[in-house]
Amino acid sequence: MHELSVTQSIVEACAEHAGAARVLRVTLEVGTLSCVMPDALRFCYDVVTEGTSLQGSSLEIIRVPGLSRCRDCGAEVRMDDRLSTCRCGSANLERPQGGDQLRIKSMEIEEAA
């Protein structure tokens, strides 16, 4: 499960950026073509954040599809997985653009008193 090491990297980056502040929420953008399982990230997140400034924080995951174009009819195709097809039924798609990202979009921290 590579999601454990991915989650550890995310938590380390957030903790470093937050400094001494407590993190309340982390928002990630996860591409639908990234081969990262959102449910596995959520499971690992609670374990990895234990004992850190992120402990108890929430994890929000925004799924970002890839976009392609059908070589047969020219339609734009939203790719929610690598087996996506066009509305016309064709699987003859151009190489997808996007959908492979894994990015920390935002982080909400507790304001100092």
The CATH number linked to 40 is 3.30.2320.50
Amino acid at 32: T
Contact in structure between 43 and 1 (CB atoms under 8 Å): no
Indicate whether 49 pLDDT > 70: yes
Indicate whether 69 pLDDT > 70: yes
Residue 16 structural domain: 3-65+99-109
Mean pLDDT of 52-70: 96
| 82 domain residue, yes or no | no
The two structure tokens encoding residue 86: 């066009």
Indicate whether 1 pLDDT > 60: no
Mean pLDDT of 96-107: 95
Number of domains in the chain: 1
DSSP 29: E
pLDDT per residue as tens digits for the range 7-47: 999 999 999 999 989 999 999 999 999 989 999 999 999 99
CA distance 55 to 70: 45
| 104 domain residue, yes or no | yes
| 77 domain residue, yes or no | no
| 83 domain residue, yes or no | no
Query: Helix and strand tally (H, E) in the chain?
Result: 2, 5
Indicate whether 111 pLDDT > 80: no
Q: Which residues contact 91 (CB under 8 A, 6 or more apart)?
A: 83, 85
| 59 domain residue, yes or no | yes
| 37 domain residue, yes or no | yes
For 111, phi and psi rounded to 5 degrees?
Answer: -70, 140
| 76 domain residue, yes or no | no
| 81 domain residue, yes or no | no
Closest to 61 measured CA to CA, from 78, 46, 41: 41
Res 2: pLDDT: 84
